Amino acid sequence: MPPTIESEEQKALRTAVSTLGKRHGRDFTTPELWTEAGKLGYLGVNLPEAYGGGGGGVSELSIVLEELGAAGCPLLMLVVSPAICGTIIARFGTDAQKQHWLPALADGTRIMAFGITEPDAGSNSHRITTTARKDETGDWILNGRKVFISGVDIADATLIVGRTEDARTGSLKPCLFIVPRDTPGFERRQIDMELNAAEKQFELTLDDVRLPADALVGDENAGLLQLFAGLNPERIMTAAFAIGMGRYAISKAVEYARDRTVWNSPIGAHQAIAHPLAQSHIELELARLMMQKAAHLYDTGDDAGAGEAANMAKYAAGEACVRAVDQAVQTLGGNGLTKEFGLASLITAARVSRIAPVSREMILNYVSHQTLGLPKSY
């Protein structure tokens, strides 16, 4: 049920998206659902109305992803295309970039991927080695590699995080570039994953990729400010993804436990079955509260507060999701591993929420030294 802390408009959005999700269900096809969600205005609820969006924020977009996940049909690229890339372009893009990208991201006719992770950098964004330099013509030349980049094959462009050299200090500063899919020198290789997901993972190679000056998003001297304007929504939306998945798993387990009778009563009447499901429900609700706090802080412009809350929300949601899926499978016993009930595939998917886009260990590092003031271990 929608919590009372949501506005009437947010509750109505939750109900409408839930209806859409249940109509598609676990056997959904991503292109079909993406297209319909775009036409209904759900993909761009966080983007400015002036550019075809809904004029809301990450609070509204997280509702969309959570409810689709709770219906068994989450759209992973919601985390990337409107949440990360759309937010960054809306906040820092030029008028031309906004006009070109935001209406299309909002209605789903264009998709954008996001390239930050590198083979040798992992969670340490300060070690990004993809470099960008200007040549004598004013064009940008990008070189580097990225790994575990979602949906590059279906994306019209990828927002690449590169680093430029400060002429005064010689230090490298993060900058963001829009790289169209068919740009010469921009190559992709699909990574063979055990994870069974519609959105594929890719390794990217940028070999003297030449971009015009207007491919740069925002100020080349802004540094981490622009980057984290996209990473905080990413963490909030990952929490929504995990919470929706956990809710779906628990709903299936509750339905099974209510009907499945082995002796003289449904198995859900036994506390050994009922209590773990109740505990998972509580954990998911608590994670949602932190997610809502993070989204509210971000939408109201408190970037520092949102950073802390977004990390906590992602951590809480990942932990709750893994436990919820595990308990749901355990509730169904052998049936929990069959295709008929659709839970086994969630075991790997849920585990991802503890790893990406930032590991739970790095979140604990963040909280220990940023929040608690303890010395850094790295």
Residue 167 — pLDDT band, cuts 50, 70, 90? low
Question: Domain 113-217 carries which CATH code?
Answer: 2.40.110.10
Tell me the C-alpha distance between 274 and 120, whole Å: 45
**Whole-number pLDDT of residue 124:** 67
pLDDT for position 166 = 64
Strand partners, 112: 157
CATH topology of domain 8-110: Butyryl-Coa Dehydrogenase, subunit A; domain 1 (1.10.540)
Q: What is the pLDDT of residues 274-319, one digit of tens each?
A: 999 999 999 999 999 999 999 999 999 999 999 999 999 999 999 9
Q: Work out the pLDDT band at 168, boundaries 50, 70, 90.
A: low
- pLDDT reading at 2 higher than 90: no
Checking if the pLDDT of 118 tops 90, the result is yes
- Report the alpha-carbon angle 279-235-120, nearest 5: 120
Q: How far apart are CA 79 and CA 102, in angstroms?
A: 15
Q: Please, are residues 338 and 282 in contact by the beta-carbon 8 Å criterion?
A: no
For domain 224-371, give its CATH number from 2.60.120.10, 3.10.580.10, 3.20.20.60, 1.20.140.10. 1.20.140.10
Residue-wise pLDDT for 169-193, tens only, equals: 656 788 999 999 999 999 999 999 9
Three-state DSSP at 351 gives: helix
> For all residues of the chain together, what is the average pLDDT?
94
CA atoms of 123 and 260, how far apart (whole Å): 44
For the entire predicted model, the pTM comes to: 0.95
DSSP H or E run through 145: strand 140-150
Of the candidates 173, 165, 159, the residue with the CA atom closest to the CA atom of residue 217: 159
Residue 122: band (very low, low, confident or very high) from pLDDT cuts 50, 70, 90:
low
- Note the pLDDT of residue 251: 98
**Extents of the domains making up the chain:** 8-110, 113-217, 224-371
